[in-house]
Amino acid sequence: MEFHFGSVRDVACDFVDSLWTARDPRSGVVDNLEKRVAKWNMESMGKVVFGRRLGYLAGRGGDREKEAEEIIAANEDMFEVDAGNCWK
């Protein structure tokens, strides 16, 4: 894991910066925090697994952000369907 520490640290720093920018200046609340954390997770794994950033933390909209939102939605759907089957 030490090998990946620098690149994961860089992603984490960008994530913290994005939270700071996205927060409400009065309350400090960050809207859609769960989705932002999911994007950070995918960005970190992209760097570790593929050796490159995926562009999900850029916050500029566009194709990469749409792709991230679609992956997050699919993941939520998968767990919703799977959770229903776990208790039967």
% of the chain beyond a pLDDT of 70: 84
For residue range 24-51, what is the model confidence (pLDDT) as tens digits? 999 999 999 999 999 999 999 999 999 9
Instruction: Say what the pTM is.
Output: 0.79
pLDDT score for 6: 79
* CA dist list (Å): 6 to 11, 17, 86: 9, 17, 38
Count: domains in the chain: 1
Mean pLDDT for the stretch of residues 39-67: 87
Domain containing residue 40: 2-86
